[in-house]
Amino acid sequence: MPSGTLFIVAAPSGAGKTTLVGRLLAEDANVQLSISFTTRAPRPGEENGREYHFIDVQRFLAMRESGEFAEWAEVHDNFYGTSRLWLEQRMKEGCDMMLEIDWQGAQQMRRQFPEAIGIFILPPSITELENRLRRRGADSEDVIARRVASALGEMRHVAEFDFVIINNDLDVALGELKAAVRASRLRFSRQRARHPDVFRFLDQD
């Protein structure tokens, strides 16, 4: 069994998922962000292998047909996918991997990685979520209304996740995210995979 753990983090837009994951990665060197593959062109400032693995459509479709992706989706005429082989290799090397994804992708991932730990980030209320989206100043009222409606649909899948963090205070939520990661590392299956010598007595007659 791989000694690394896969963490799947989902949240509606505006709940603070990206900020929380970024701060966790900055403070916990044992967790690495899973880098997805995409066929879209890099945006200014993006680097291949940092934000995404940028590949052409032909290669993406070949990888999909060979079953390499644990999950994939087509969004706005571009393909996005998570490499099952790449994740498995990183976890075999002992790395804990964190994947930011929506609830549909999380369902696909759990079929491929049933040991994965699901973490859902909730806003303290729909009103606060709407206020956060408005404070961004990037969307019209119509777009905000659609995002809020979409968020409600996403949040109805919260029970499918192992841990739920209510992001009312960023520092408190970060502490809870760290606690979820630490607790997951102490599961029997993870400890036995990481420290086989300690558990050798279980194999003795």
Is 158's pLDDT higher than 90? yes
Per-residue burial over 95-113, b = 16 or more CB atoms within 10 Å of its CB, e = otherwise: bbbbbbbbbebbbbbbeeb
Structural domains of the chain ordered from first start: 6-195 (3.40.50.300)
Q: From the CB of residue 199, how many other CB atoms can be counted at a distance below 10 Å?
A: 13
Q: Is the pTM of this model over 0.75?
A: yes
The pLDDT of residue 159 is 96
Cα separation of 204 and 50, whole Å?
A: 45
**Both tokens of residue 39?**
């066929």
Q: Mind listing the pLDDT tens digit for each residue in 51-100?
A: 889 999 999 999 999 999 998 888 778 999 999 988 999 999 989 999 99
Cα separation of 177 and 131, whole Å?
A: 23
pLDDT band of residue 205 (cuts 50, 70, 90) is: low
Cα separation of 73 and 145, whole Å?
A: 24
Q: Mind listing the pLDDT tens digit for each residue in 178-201?
A: 999 999 999 998 899 889 999 999
pLDDT band of residue 150 (cuts 50, 70, 90) is: confident
Nearest CA among 99, 121, 108 for reference residue 37: 99
Cα separation of 111 and 102, whole Å?
A: 15
Residues 16, 126: contact at Cβ < 8 Å? no
Average pLDDT across the chain, whole number: 91
